[in-house]
Amino acid sequence: MNMSGRFSLAGKVALVTGGASGIGQAIAIGMAEAGADVAVTANRRGADETVAGIEQAGRRALVLPVDLAGLDTSGAEALLDKVAEELGPVNILVNNAGIIRRAPAADYPDEDWQAVMAVNLDAVWRLSRAAGKRMLARKQGSIISIASLLSYQGGVFVPAYAAAKHAVAGLTKALANEWAGQGVNVNAIAPGYIATANTAALQADETRNRQILERIPAGHWGSPEDIAGSAVFLASPAARYVHGHVLTVDGGWMAR
- Does the domain formed by 3-248 have CATH 3.40.50.720? yes
pLDDT above 90 covers a percentage of the chain that reads 94
CB environment 143-167: b (16+ within 10 A), e (fewer): bbbbbbbbbbeeeeebbbbbbbbbb
**How high is the pLDDT of residue 199?**
86
Q: For residue 179, is pLDDT > 90? A: yes
Q: Residue 95 pairs with which residues in a beta bridge?
A: 145
53-65 average pLDDT score: 97
Average pLDDT, the chain: 96
Q: Could you report the per-residue pLDDT of 211-255, keeping only the tens digit for each?
A: 999 999 999 999 999 999 999 999 999 999 999 999 999 999 999
Q: How far apart are CA 47 and CA 21, in angstroms?
A: 7
For the entire predicted model, the pTM comes to 0.97
**Reported confidence tier of residue 46, pLDDT bands at 50, 70, 90:** confident
**How high is the pLDDT of residue 43?**
81
**How high is the pLDDT of residue 1?**
65
Q: For residue 209, is pLDDT > 90? A: yes
| Cβ(139)–Cβ(89) below 8 Å | no
**Residues with a known catalytic role:** 161
Q: For residue 177, is pLDDT > 90? A: yes
Q: Could you report the per-residue pLDDT of 111-123, keeping only the tens digit for each?
A: 999 999 999 999 9
**Reported confidence tier of residue 14, pLDDT bands at 50, 70, 90:** very high
Would you say how long the chain is, in residues?
256
CB atoms inside a 10 Å sphere around CB 129: 15
Break the chain into its structural domains and give their ranges: 3-248
User: Of 59, 99, 66, 97, nearest to 81 (Cα)?
Assistant: 66
Q: For residue 198, is pLDDT > 90? A: no
